Amino acid sequence: VGYTNAGKSTLFNRLTGADVLAADMPFATLDPTAREVTAASGRRFALIDTVGFITDLPTHLVAAFRATLEEAMEADLLVHVRDIAHEDSEHQANDVYAILEQLAQETGADRPPIIEAWNKADAVAPAVRSVLSTSASGHSPPALLISAMSGDGVDGLLQTIERELYASRRPRQVLIVAADGRARSWLHDNVEVLSETMADEINLAVEAAMSDIDVSRFISAFPDARVR
């Protein structure tokens, strides 16, 4: 996610080798695109490019963008791409966070965790770059200085994405009512199911590899299930 023109599609292309239109114009991306990325460890995840966030969307465009932006609330991790060379970079970031908060409220979902990609590092003077690099290292949410165009810093970003995605992922024991097909389908659709056994006459014990994010999602959808 990120402000329009921040370099989302350029980064997407660099990470996926895809040829999504990256152009120096607003709304270059009208359709979200998902591609599979293989990290250095061999683990795979889906990366989704989104439309740009902008403060005053023309009304007729809002509806079309809405679904895509709401979809972002279902992500396991948001990569907030920022044009760090832009004079209004801070304002743009604040606008993006305001829109994310609004989407979270409207969808009733928790905002996914975020990392920031401070893009266009090649477009700032070396002295500025080193200052930015220092502030990125202590930044919350985690921030990485990159150039999607030259590829500088992109490997580090990929490692951070992977670390954030899998940090809390471990086998969990989930207890659901065996007759509840929806809870079982959710697990099969969203996480890796390792084993399934009947715990007693009624309950199914499912062992599944889940992150903390997966667990909170699952519990909010199925409050009666037990996870440990």
**27 contact, one of Mg ion, ligand GTP, none, CB 5-8 Å limit per kind:** ligand GTP
- DSSP bridge partners of 37: 45
Binding of ligand GTP by 57 (CB under 6 A): no
Query: Which run of H or E residues covers position 212?
Result: helix 212-221
Report the distance separating Cα 105 and Cα 29, nearest Å.
25
Closest by Cα among 204, 208, 219 to 171: 208
Binding of ligand GTP by 147 (CB under 6 A): yes
Task: Give helix then strand counts, H and E, for the chain.
Answer: 7, 9
At a CB cut-off of 8 Å and minimum separation 6, what does 17 contact?
Answer: none
Residue 50 CB, shortest distance to Mg ion, in Å, is 8
Q: Mark 89-128 with x for binding to ligand GTP (rule: CB under 6 A) and - for no binding.
A: ------------------------------xx-xx-----
Binding of ligand GTP by 29 (CB under 6 A): yes
What's the half-sphere exposure (Cβ side, CA atoms, 13 Å) at 153?
20
Candidates 1-9, 32-40, 168-176, 199-207; binding stretch for Mg ion (CB under 5 A): 1-9
Binding of ligand GTP by 7 (CB under 6 A): yes
Candidates 2-10, 65-73, 133-141, 178-186; binding stretch for Mg ion (CB under 5 A): 2-10
Binding of ligand GTP by 71 (CB under 6 A): no
Binding of Mg ion by 9 (CB under 5 A): yes
Candidates 6-14, 113-121, 188-196, 213-221; binding stretch for Mg ion (CB under 5 A): 6-14
Residue 17 CB, shortest distance to ligand GTP, in Å, is 15
- Helix ranges (DSSP H) in 167-211: 181-190
> Both ends of the chain: CA-CA distance in Å?
32
Binding of ligand GTP by 129 (CB under 6 A): no
Residue 200 CB, shortest distance to ligand GTP, in Å, is 52
Sheet of 192-198: strand order equals 192-198, 203-210, 170-177, 226-227
Secondary structure of residue 30 in the 3-state scheme: coil
Indicate the pairing of strand 78-83 with strand 114-119.
parallel
Record the tokens describing residue 216, joined without a space. Answer: 């909170």
Q: Show contacts with ligand GTP in window 149-168 (CB under 6 A).
A: 149
Q: Site residues (CB under 6 A) for ligand GTP?
A: 2, 4-10, 22-24, 26-29, 51-52, 119-120, 122-123, 147-149
Q: Site residues (CB under 5 A) for Mg ion?
A: 8-9, 28-29
